[in-house]
Structure 1
Amino acid sequence: MTMVGGATGLDTRQQAWAAAASVPDPEVPCVTVADLGILRSVELVDGVAVARVTPTYSGCPAVLAIELAVEAALRDAGFEARVERVVSPAWTTDWITPEGREKLRDYGIAPPQQASSSIRSLFGEIEVACPRCGSAKTERLSEFGSTACKAHWRCLACREPFDYFKCI
């Protein structure tokens, strides 16, 4: 097993996980790769920390930056590191942790609806609560937000615009 900080076995794997899990998403920096559920696993294989990452979607422009940041975080924590891209099963917004959803809301982004397999949530027939005031009286302004994974909405109660993290 790899030795880091005098720990071996599970403690070392937990250290590797913690290092990789701390990497923020470059497009939505309020959440980490672990919050988003795109960090699938971190294992020690022949002394190398191997992190497995699933892109949010096939055309995500941030995937290479994320992989490099995860590798750098592992190396900074004292590990020899490798990152593997895992594309199956495909990532879904259902993988965002409850903590990640709360971080998005606190940042002013409405988190995606649960149950991404729902036809209603996939095709925009949804009720999105305002992340600022909590009102359900909102309207979609544009299917396109500041990044490909977000849509632009407005609250009719507090009149504030906000992003909604699209259901995938």
Structure 2
Amino acid sequence: MTISESDIYKALEQVMDPEIPVLSVIDLGMITGVSLEEEGVRVKMVPTFSACPAVDYIKQNIRTVLEKALDTKVTVEIDREATWNSDRMAAGAHEKLKNFGIAPPQMRQGEEHAEIELHTACPHCDSENTYLRSPFGSTLCRAIHYCRNCGYVFEHFKPLG
């Protein structure tokens, strides 16, 4: 079987984030490169958060899914040259997050704006009549908000840069 880069990326679309299972590593913009080598496939990835406890789990899932789909040895390494930020997320990832009940991060284009978290639309009713209840959510990359219109408490995927 001849493997192409397209085959690798197609297989990577099946590797889902363990905390947000509607997003793949491709949706999250975690893959920084793939290469075909004599000994198999090499995948370079960047974690969404430097202290993310799921990194080893995600690396193993990438190996498992690609080895099964491509029938070749797979090596996964952390890309130490790149850093992840929320602007790396694929365009469709924001809608998937919202449909999952998590407010997506606002686009930042690399600028720091603390007030960006204060204007987060509710993923349930689209109201911007919300407020930040806690900058700390169930994971370090999320915050907790409350919607005054529909009464839902919801998580917000923080804009990270």
TM-score (norm 2): 0.92
Q: Which runs of 4+ in 1 moved over 2 A?
A: 116-119, 122-126
Deviation at 1:95, TM superposition (A): 0.4
Q: Could you report, residue by residue, the CA deviation over 1:117-138 in whole angstroms, capped at 9, with x for unpaired residues?
A: 2222x46554101111101111
Residues matched between the structures, number: 159
| Structure 1 contact 54–87 (Cα < 8 Å) conserved | yes
**Alignment partners' CA distance in 2, 1:105 and 1:54:** 23
Q: Does 2:134 align with 1:139?
A: no
1:43-58 alignment runs, 5 A limit: 43-58=35-50
Unaligned runs of 5+ in 1: none
**Alignment partners' CA distance in 2, 1:149 and 1:99:** 19
Deviation at 1:70, TM superposition (A): 0.3
- 2:107 is aligned to 114
| Structure 2 contact 67–74 (Cα < 8 Å) conserved | yes
- 1:70 is aligned to 62
Unaligned runs of 5+ in 2: none
TM-score (norm 1): 0.88
1:125-136 alignment runs, 5 A limit: 126-136=118-128
Over aligned residues, Cα RMSD in angstroms? 1.5
Q: What amino acid maps onto 1:45 in structure 2?
A: E
- 1:151 is aligned to 143
**Alignment partners' CA distance in 1, 2:98 and 2:131:** 17
